[in-house]
Amino acid sequence: MRVIHDRKCRKLKRMDDRGADFHKVDATRTLIRSLSTKIRMAIQVVDKISMTINKIRDEELWPQLKELIQGYVMLKSYRSCYLFSVQNVTLFMMVGYMLCVGGKTIPYL
């Protein structure tokens, strides 16, 4: 639309410079006004859509992302605790195996 608008503006300037017929100049001015209105309306629609996207991002997506990150951090913490527990259990099993002599278990100290 802007390209057409710019072309029509240049055409109107040439028509004015040459002293073209009043009706043709008036029709071109009317067309330019119409295009300007359509461009303004399109800009308003884009602004409204942009505001809606920002609102959805701020009110819905950001809290979900924050919750997801907190869950990941918690899961990472649980994983560290789990790995520590597995290491301890493995160590105790190895110690218990090493304390087993001739089929008899030596009591833990």
Within-domain flag for 64 = yes
Range of the domain at 44: 2-81
Confidence label for 107 from pLDDT (cuts 50, 70 and 90) = low
**Residue 86 placed within a domain:** no
Q: How confident is the model over 54-64, as a mean pLDDT?
A: 92
Strands 104-105, 100-101: pairing kind: antiparallel
Q: How many domains does the chain have?
A: 1
Query: Does residue 93 belong to any structural domain of this protein?
Result: no
pLDDT at site 54: 94
CA pair distance 96, 90, nearest whole angstrom: 10
Does residue 31 have a pLDDT over 80?
Answer: yes
Query: Tokens 């105790």 — which residue?
Result: 92
- pLDDT mean over 82-101: 77
Mean pLDDT, range 63-92, rounded to an integer? 87
- 92 located within any domain: no
Residue 91 lies in a domain: no
Mean pLDDT of 69-77: 88
Question: Does residue 69 lie in a domain region?
Answer: yes
In a domain, 87, yes or no: no
Among 44, 28, 32, smallest CA distance to 2 is for 32
